[in-house]
Chains A and B, each alone.
Chain A
Amino acid sequence: MDSPSKDNILCRLHLNAVLFALEDFVAVVPEAKQILGEENFSITFTTCSKLKSTVKFHDGKCDFIGAMDAPNAIKIHFLSERHLNCIFTQSGFTLPLLRSGFFRLKQLIVFKRLSTLLGKYLQPDAKTLEEKTFRSQHLKILLGLMLAAIKELSEYESFSRDLLKSTPDGLAFFTIQDDDISGWIQWKDDKVNYGKGDAPYPPDVRIVFEDSSIALAAFHNKIINMAEIGLGRLRIDGDTAFAERLGWMSERISLYLENGRS
């Protein structure tokens, strides 16, 4: 497989990780649910390179259905992967092409309001994060995004793929001790699977964040892991090499999404 370009990888992260985060966002943020109201619709994003993702809003919730088709979806097309990346990072001015859904202005406005609010939840200011409920919501949304992003990197980024290939199959479970947040990632038969909540099997490595402030700092690469492990605020038991590799991958996600580089 040819190594995909950075634009391609970033585009995949936007389509399959950031859009995936809408699921949790609508589920955990009451304001998002309020904006959605009783609107039922789907939006499909496509690029000239044939990347595609669809999100479906129905009954007050959001389902990410990936590359599957949704009937009667609003279709938004981007001229290039870079074009999509610019729109997702709000750094471009060329509007995408609306291929279907011209007359569904109300639903487009709902989606625009949801995506703007999602941006605030994904990249909040420091003061907002001090509020415990917001922090918990932020972490839940970010966790979903990170899980999906790790899967994308494992499939399309050679560096990440090589990292995982150099470790045995395993299942990592992570949890935030003072919050109802947990998830797992499995590397098995050259594939990443993931989920939220309890692990389906006994994990090979358990990663425990003592509280949400440590988790938050860890997710944003603002802690020194060795120090926090030494102090016991971040605990890793079992296959530490696997955990270490996941940590390196999560750093790369931040580099892509926050700086548009790797």
Chain B
Amino acid sequence: MEDHRPQLPKKTQELFERAVQVIPGGIYGHNSPANTIPGIAPYFAERAEGCRYWDVDGREYIDFLSSYGPIVLGHNNKEVNATADEQRKAGDCFNHPSERFVELAEYLVGSIDFADWAIFGKNGSDMVNWAIKIAREYTGRKKVIYIDGAYHGSGNWCPTRGPSGSIAEDHVHSHTFLWNDVHSVHDLVKRHKGQIAAIITTPYHHPGGADSVLPAEGFLQEIENVCKSNGVVFILDDIRAGFRLHHGGSHQVFNFTPDISCYCKAIANGYPLSAAVGRDEFKQAASKVFMTGSYWFSAVPMAAALTCLQILKRDKVVEHLQAMGKRLTHGLENAAAKYGLQVNCSGPPALPYLSFIEETNLMRMQAFCRYCMENGVFFHPHHNWFINAAHQESDIDEAINIADHAFKKVANKVPA
């Protein structure tokens, strides 16, 4: 730790001081500087292009967070923007949905193997909460079980960060199982037999502040079986990884089939949209659950999503993300090893999570990210990163080169 607080750049300082006067915390939620490297990380963005962005003080970063996921093709993608602009000229927020609404639902139903219907919202939480309600409507049951440590958005049913604003009753019907532990799933289902409306999982475990863990052989298939044999709705929260691992949804990578799947981040390259798809069996229940919002039918994000999803397929973006992710993670592992440091890149290469092996307090990880940020690479210290289609080999190599210097400093300065 530095002896004195780092000096924020002028415009950042001014803007944040103004922000704290009129906004709780200055910047709240996952964007709060408190969640990255305060004093070093950029606080306010000015503009972005491809895989790079600039903050309000003109500092440039290679972006490995991709706006926490929504930017899958790269910032300011011209094709997506052109489609969105065209739709904007025609209109965006009407009394009614536009033709894009139907087209997008048709596209998703056509590209996701088990999908018979689709619904739309704005954020991941909208879809997950809707899916839970559909499951409760369909089963007439109350309980939801989910992975211990998983993040499923900000719905009341799922405890998030801290006790503020929650009451114990919010979570009375929520129970957790351990990832990759079939027995803990069976135990819960047995204990609450006939009461469980839904089991919700992510396609792989990506807890906050910890390594990602892929599913063990047969684990998700067993959950699918348990759901089938107990009349429980199997919900996949594919908000984070959806369309980054497979154009037809992440379940296809891991060979299982959920009943309902929720998407958001990569669907529209930054335009506000989320979606859920489901099997025909749940269509009637979905129609009965009233969920909506003032902007949930806006046409521009749906037009953007259609183009984004088509580009993902046309340009084989999944393969590109995988290749760039592998290049990055191998490069980082090799660079760290040069200085005797052992790092672990967990999760799929398209969404890598870097950690120092056996480090639980993040001291070295924060130091590493601090040095990288100071030199123009935005790595998050305790959230998985997101590769996007604009990352090219030269960008990855530039980042690895900067990371190399950062590892050297960490090895010299930060005790294990």
Q: Mark B390-416, 1 if CB is under 8 A from A, else 0.
A: 000000000000000000000000010
* Interface window among A62-70, A100-108, A204-212: A204-212
B165 CB–A CB distance under 8 Å = no
CB of B309, distance to nearest CB on chain A (Å)? 36
B337 CB–A CB distance under 8 Å = no
CB of B19, distance to nearest CB on chain A (Å)? 8
Contact of B38 among A168, A229, A244 (CB under 8 A): A229
* Interface window among A26-34, A148-156, A234-242: A234-242
Contact of B34 among A159, A230, A239 (CB under 8 A): A230
B8 CB–A CB distance under 8 Å = yes
Please state if B38 and A230 are interface contacts (CB–CB under 8 Å). yes
Interface residues of A in 130-179 (CB under 8 A from B): 159, 168-170
Which B residues lie within 8 Å of A204 (CB)?
360-361, 363
Please state if A235 and B361 are interface contacts (CB–CB under 8 Å). no
B295 CB–A CB distance under 8 Å = no
Please state if B366 and A237 are interface contacts (CB–CB under 8 Å). yes
* Interface window among B23-31, B72-80, B98-106, B115-123: B23-31
Which A residues lie within 8 Å of B17 (CB)?
231
A232 CB–B CB distance under 8 Å = yes
Contact of A224 among B16, B20, B161 (CB under 8 A): B20
CB of B85, distance to nearest CB on chain A (Å)? 35
A80 CB–B CB distance under 8 Å = no
How many residues of B are counted as interface, with CB atoms below 8 angstroms from the partner's CB atoms?
29
Which A residues lie within 8 Å of B161 (CB)?
244
A226 CB–B CB distance under 8 Å = yes
Please state if A230 and B162 are interface contacts (CB–CB under 8 Å). no
Q: Knowing A227-B20, A231-B20 touch, does A238 contact B32 (C-beta < 8 A)?
A: no
In the complex, which of the residues B1, B38, B162 has the most CB atoms of chain A within 10 Å of its own CB atom?
A: B38
B39 CB–A CB distance under 8 Å = yes
Please state if B360 and A235 are interface contacts (CB–CB under 8 Å). no
CB of A234, distance to nearest CB on chain B (Å)? 9
B362 CB–A CB distance under 8 Å = yes
Please state if B209 and A230 are interface contacts (CB–CB under 8 Å). no
Please state if A232 and B39 are interface contacts (CB–CB under 8 Å). yes
Please state if B5 and A230 are interface contacts (CB–CB under 8 Å). no
Nearest B residue to A202, CB-CB: B415
CB of A184, distance to nearest CB on chain B (Å)? 14
Q: Knowing A202-B415, A210-B5, A248-B163 touch, does A230 contact B32 (C-beta < 8 A)?
A: yes
A233 CB–B CB distance under 8 Å = yes
Contact of A226 among B28, B360, B361 (CB under 8 A): B28
Please state if A168 and B28 are interface contacts (CB–CB under 8 Å). no
In the complex, which of the residues A159, A168, A226, A230 has the most CB atoms of chain B within 10 Å of its own CB atom?
A: A230
Please state if A237 and B1 are interface contacts (CB–CB under 8 Å). yes
CB of A208, distance to nearest CB on chain B (Å)? 7
Which B residues lie within 8 Å of A210 (CB)?
5
Which A residues lie within 8 Å of B34 (CB)?
225-226, 229-230, 236, 240
Please state if B363 and A238 are interface contacts (CB–CB under 8 Å). yes
Q: Knowing A204-B361, A227-B25 touch, does A232 contact B20 (C-beta < 8 A)?
A: no
Contact of A230 among B16, B361, B362 (CB under 8 A): B16
- Within the assembled complex, what's the spacing in Å between the Cα atoms of A203 and B75? 40
Nearest A residue to B43, CB-CB: A230
Nearest A residue to B361, CB-CB: A204
Interface residues of A in 60-107 (CB under 8 A from B): none
B33 CB–A CB distance under 8 Å = yes
CB of B9, distance to nearest CB on chain A (Å)? 12
B6 CB–A CB distance under 8 Å = yes
In the complex, which of the residues A225, A226, A233, A237 has the most CB atoms of chain B within 10 Å of its own CB atom?
A: A226
Interface residues of B in 38-81 (CB under 8 A from A): 38-39, 43
Please state if B360 and A232 are interface contacts (CB–CB under 8 Å). no
CB of B410, distance to nearest CB on chain A (Å)? 14
Q: Knowing A224-B24, A226-B28 touch, does A233 contact B209 (C-beta < 8 A)?
A: no
Please state if B361 and A205 are interface contacts (CB–CB under 8 Å). yes
Residues of A within 8 A of B (CB): 159, 168-170, 202, 204-206, 208, 210, 224-227, 229-233, 235-242, 244, 248
Ranked nearest first, the 5 interchain pairs of A and B with the lowest CB-CB distance are A232-B5, A226-B25, A204-B361, A229-B34, A239-B361
A-B contacts, 8 of them at CB < 8 A, read: A159-B163, A169-B360, A208-B1, A210-B5, A227-B25, A230-B26, A230-B43, A248-B163
Q: A235-B5, A237-B366 are in contact. List 16 more A-B contacts (CB 8 A).
A: A169-B360, A204-B363, A225-B25, A226-B24, A226-B27, A226-B34, A227-B25, A229-B32, A229-B34, A230-B25, A231-B8, A231-B16, A231-B20, A239-B362, A241-B209, A244-B161
